[in-house]
Amino acid sequence: MLFNKSFYKTFLMGLALTALATGGIDTAVKAQGTPGLVIFGNRDVDILNYYLDFGGVADSRDRYRFRIPKNKLPNGVSQLKISYPDYFDGKFDTDKIEVRPNGDKKKSLPLKSVVWDEKNRFLQIDLATPLQEAKKLEIVMSNTKNPDVGTYYFYGQVIPARNIPAPEKIGAWIVNINPH
């Protein structure tokens, strides 16, 4: 016998680990979400979760899913505002923006208006009926054209439905756009 049993076990284990590592890397590259570890940036801002359905490839179309946890909306919400940096050169399709309560893919809140102010770099989403109770929300922006490669901070603010109708900062989504 040219090879013994321990050689085969070692060889098969190495092969299995290589296959798992290769598959894991491929999956990690395709999935685009949660910012992970932030070394540089504004430490006074809460980092919010997000997901890019099509991987965040530069200059291609994508679907952004910005998530807001329930604890960020104790007084409900009547308006959402998302600002972005001046070097963001992507494009939003205001007809393809939804606000979904509790991450429910089948339910979308009715919107009064969606305004994209390119000059002042923000999106403003007004709900048709203010959401009185705290719920987790997902802002879904379909048919968004990704910008050039880089890291982009999208800052979120809300106008609460109850109490004083003054803007409240809720945090930031740190979106990474990849070359391909």
Domains and CATH numbers, the chain: 31-177 (2.60.40.1290)
Distance in angstroms (rounded) separating the CA atoms of residues 111 and 73: 18
- Report which of residues 135 and 103 the model is more confident about: 135
Residues 58, 146: contact at Cβ < 8 Å? yes
Q: Which of 158, 149, 159, 155 is nearest to 173 (CA)?
A: 155
Mean per-residue pLDDT over the chain, rounded: 85
pTM (two decimals): 0.78
Q: Among all chains, which residue has been given the structure tokens 């290589």?
A: 18
Q: How confident is residue 146, by pLDDT bands cut at 50, 70 and 90?
A: very high
